[in-house]
Amino acid sequence: MHDISRPLTPGHPTWPGDAPYRLEPGARIARGDSVNTGELRTSTHTGTHVDAPWHYADDAPRLEEVGLEPYLGRCRVLTVRAREGLVGPEALEGLPDMLPPRLLLHTGQPAHWAEFPEDFAALSPDFVREAARRGVWLIGTDSPSVDPLTSKTLDAHHACREAGVLILEGLNLSAVPEGDYDLVCLPLPLVGADGAPARAVLLPAGTLPEVP
C-alpha cells in the first residue's frame, strides 16, 4: 500500500490567500480535562484534496453531489514533464488508446512542501481533452492545481468540467513507481462544499472489486 496523501503538519502551506492550516489544542488531560481534543481550521483545498465542480462553476455540482465512485477503483500513475509550465497531450503518446478511468500524474513535486510551490507543472486543456478521449474521468496531480498559480481563466479546470473529468490535487507520488493500481480516495463528507481534504492510498491493482 502507498499512502499518497500529504501529511498536514503545523504550518503546512496553503494556496496564497487561503485560510492557513491550524490545529490548535482544545481540551487537555494535562489540564484536568477527561480527554484531549483539537480545533481544526483550514481551507477546503489544503494538501491532498478534491475539487468539486462547484469550485469553478456556480451551476456545477457541489461535493456531496459527486459521490465516492469516481475516487475508488483502477488508476494509472504516470510520470510527466511540463513544457513551458504545461503538460501537453504529447505526454500520452505511446500509451494505449484506452486508459484506466483514473490517471495520477507525477510531475516531480517532492514529498514535503516547506513552502507553497509557486512554480509547478499545470495541465494544458488539450491534455485534459486527450485524456478524456482515452477514457479518463478523474485526473490527479502532485501539483497544487491543474492550472498555473497566476491563472484567472482556469482553462484546465473548465476543460475538465466540459470533458466530464473530476480533479484530485496535491498528491504525494514521490515514492510511487509508474503503473496500474487501485485508488482509494476518501474526501471529507462536507455538505455544500466546493472541495475537501482527502486521504488517498494506492493498493495493488485488482484489490478492489471493479467499479463502473
- The domain total for the chain is 1
Write the CATH number for 120: 3.50.30.50
pLDDT value, residue 189:
97
pLDDT value, residue 211:
61
- 55 catalytic? Reply is yes
Q: How confident is the model at residue 10 (pLDDT cuts 50, 70, 90)?
A: confident
Cα 126 from Cα 155, distance rounded (Å): 10
Domain assignment of residue 210, yes or no: no
Domain assignment of residue 172, yes or no: yes
Mean pLDDT of 86-113: 97
pLDDT value, residue 88:
98
Cell (9 digits) for 106: 507525477
Domain assignment of residue 28, yes or no: yes
From the list 2, 55, 106, 158, the catalytic residue is 55
CB atoms within 10 A of CB 88: 18
Q: Is 110 exposed, middle or buried (0-12, 13-18, 19+ CB in 10 A)?
A: exposed
Q: What's the whole-number average pLDDT of the chain?
A: 96
Residue 51 assigned ligand-binding role: yes
Task: Please report which residue ranges of 85-154 form alpha helices under DSSP H.
Answer: 125-133
Report which residue type is found at 38: G
pLDDT at 212 over 60: no
pLDDT at 141 over 80: yes
pLDDT value, residue 210:
74
Mean pLDDT of 45-58: 97
pLDDT at 166 over 70: yes
Mean pLDDT of 177-193: 97
pLDDT value, residue 195:
97
Query: Structural domain of residue 151, as residue ranges?
Result: 2-204
Domain assignment of residue 209, yes or no: no
Residue 56, SS3? coil
Residue 45 assigned ligand-binding role: yes
Q: Is 170 exposed, middle or buried (0-12, 13-18, 19+ CB in 10 A)?
A: buried
pLDDT at 194 over 80: yes
Mean pLDDT of 35-50: 96
Per-residue pLDDT tens over the stretch 62-99: 999 999 999 999 999 999 999 999 999 999 999 999 99
Cα 132 from Cα 135, distance rounded (Å): 5
Torsions phi, psi for 207 (to 5 deg) = -70, -45
Domain assignment of residue 145, yes or no: yes
Q: What percent of the chain has pLDDT over 70?
A: 99
Domain assignment of residue 25, yes or no: yes
Domain assignment of residue 178, yes or no: yes
Residue 49 assigned ligand-binding role: yes
Domain assignment of residue 211, yes or no: no
pLDDT value, residue 143:
98
Residue 169 assigned ligand-binding role: yes
